[in-house]
Each structure stands twice: as structure tokens, then as C-alpha cells.
């Protein structure tokens, strides 16, 4: 059990039948009345963010999140297949449990599977990936306004915004948390 006065960024807890991670917290002691803790919580299953206030003495169970590194193999219909590289055991995860977290992940890349009580609720892709641009419009001479970008499709099918000078067939580095172009490889 963890009390609200012990909240820190990154703490996971069970609350209202779901699992939340503390994104922000603030201990508030008003001039009159009792102290409280103002928090911003992210629901790890749905991804929604809620703001709640707690009394410092309120207690709730701490959620233990298991992170297991597996290799992404392939997608078949609504199922994604992963393999444990230690014992070569394969497991299938439903697309609804994953969301769009694999949009920058190629086959055979390593990902972290997030689970709570053996129930998978998410996937952490690598922080940075190197992908090939498969399709983009050509940049035209004179199109050099500051910070101008164009959309490009990478080999996984995801769309990112890249500078005008890039063309199809080039390899780029992408931040998977934000989907931002970081540079050429």
C-alpha cells in the first residue's frame, strides 16, 4: 500500500479498478483547511489522463508492472506474435491490447511487453528506431522556408514529417515517443 503523501513521478498504483502511473504531483497546504495532493495520472490500459486530488492519508495498492523483453515476429490478422529469445516460446497478443505502439517497429525488433497480473496491457517500443523512407514527395529547389516539412511514409507504414531535402530510399532516425524525425542515419 502507498499513501498519497508518498506519490512521486513514475509511481504505479491500482485505483478504481485500473492501473495508473503518476505523471505529476503537487503537495498543497492551503492557509485554511486540510492539506491535499493534486495529481495528474495516466491510465496505462486506455492511455487517458485524469487529474485527481487525494488526502495525504489516503492509501491504495501499489501496482507491480512486469516488463519483459520479447522479439516482435509478425502480424497475422488481429494478432501480433512475439518470441522470448531465451526459451524461444512464442506468444500472440491481440491488436486491441497493443494500440498503435508498434507503428515504428519492424519485424525482428526487440520490444518490452508490459503486463500486470499476467494481463498484457501495452508495449514499449525502443526509444529510437532507424527506418527507410519508402514514399515521399520530391523537394523542389527554392522550397527552403525555415522549418518546412513534408510527410513521408516509412517502411512500417507510419507517416512522419521530414525536412524537404529528404527523398525516398533514405534511412532516418525517429523518436518513437513523439514520432519526430531526428536526423539521417
Given a cut of 80, whether residue 47 has pLDDT beyond it is no
- Contacts of residue 178, defined as CB under 8 A and 6 or more positions apart, other chains included, come to none
The pLDDT of residue 142: 59
The highest-level CATH class for domain 66-124 is mainly beta
144 pLDDT tier (thresholds 50, 70, 90): low
Q: Kindly report whether the global pTM for this prediction surpasses the value 0.75.
A: no
Note whether 66-124 and 128-184 share their fold. yes
The pLDDT of residue 130: 92
114 pLDDT tier (thresholds 50, 70, 90): confident
The pLDDT of residue 141: 61
For residue 138, give the DSSP letter: P
The pLDDT of residue 40: 93
Nearest to 170 by CA among 147, 140, 138: 138
172 pLDDT tier (thresholds 50, 70, 90): very high
What is the pLDDT of the chain when averaged over all its residues?
87
- CA distances from residue 43 to 46, 55, 98, 105, 151 in whole angstroms, order as listed: 6, 20, 14, 23, 31
The pLDDT of residue 72: 93
Enclosing H/E stretch for 58: none
* Right CATH for 2-60 from 3.30.1490.20, 2.120.10.70, 2.30.30.30, 3.90.1070.10: 2.30.30.30
The pLDDT of residue 98: 77
The pLDDT of residue 9: 85
Mean pLDDT score, 122-131: 89
Given a cut of 60, whether residue 121 has pLDDT beyond it is yes
- Tell me the C-alpha distance between 55 and 13, whole Å: 16
Q: Domain boundaries in the chain?
A: 2-60, 66-124, 128-184
Domain 128-184 in CATH: superfamily? Nucleic acid-binding proteins (2.40.50.140)
Enclosing H/E stretch for 95: helix 95-98
Which residue is listed with cell 494478432? 79
Given a cut of 60, whether residue 143 has pLDDT beyond it is no
Which residue is listed with cell 531535402? 165
Burial, 7: exposed, middle or buried (Cβ in 10 Å; 0-12, 13-18, 19+)?
buried
Amino acid at each position: 500500500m502507498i499513501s498519497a503523501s508518498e506519490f512521486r513521478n513514475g509511481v504505479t498504483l491500482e485505483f478504481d479498478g485500473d492501473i495508473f502511473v503518476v505523471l505529476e504531483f503537487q503537495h498543497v497546504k492551503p492557509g485554511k483547511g486540510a492539506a491535499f495532493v493534486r495529481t495528474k495520472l495516466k491510465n496505462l490500459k486506455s492511455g487517458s489522463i485524469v487529474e485527481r486530488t487525494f488526502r495525504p492519508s489516503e492509501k491504495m495498492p501499489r501496482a507491480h508492472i512486469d516488463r519483459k523483453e520479447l522479439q516482435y515476429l509478425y502480424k497475422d490478422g488481429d494478432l501480433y506474435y512475439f518470441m522470448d529469445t531465451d526459451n524461444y516460446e512464442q506468444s500472440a497478443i491481440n491488436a486491441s491490447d497493443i494500440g498503435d505502439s508498434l507503428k515504428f517497429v519492424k519485424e525482428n525488433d526487440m520490444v518490452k511487453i508490459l503486463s500486470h497480473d499476467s494481463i498484457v496491457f501495452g508495449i514499449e517500443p525502443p526509444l529510437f528506431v532507424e527506418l527507410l523512407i519508402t514514399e515521399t514527395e520530391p523537394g523542389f529547389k527554392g522550397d527552403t522556408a525555415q522549418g518546412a516539412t513534408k510527410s513521408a511514409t516509412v517502411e512500417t507504414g507510419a507517416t512522419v514529417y521530414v525536412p524537404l531535402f529528404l527523398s525516398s530510399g533514405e534511412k532516418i532516425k525517429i523518436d518513437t515517443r513523439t514520432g519526430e524525425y531526428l536526423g539521417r542515419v
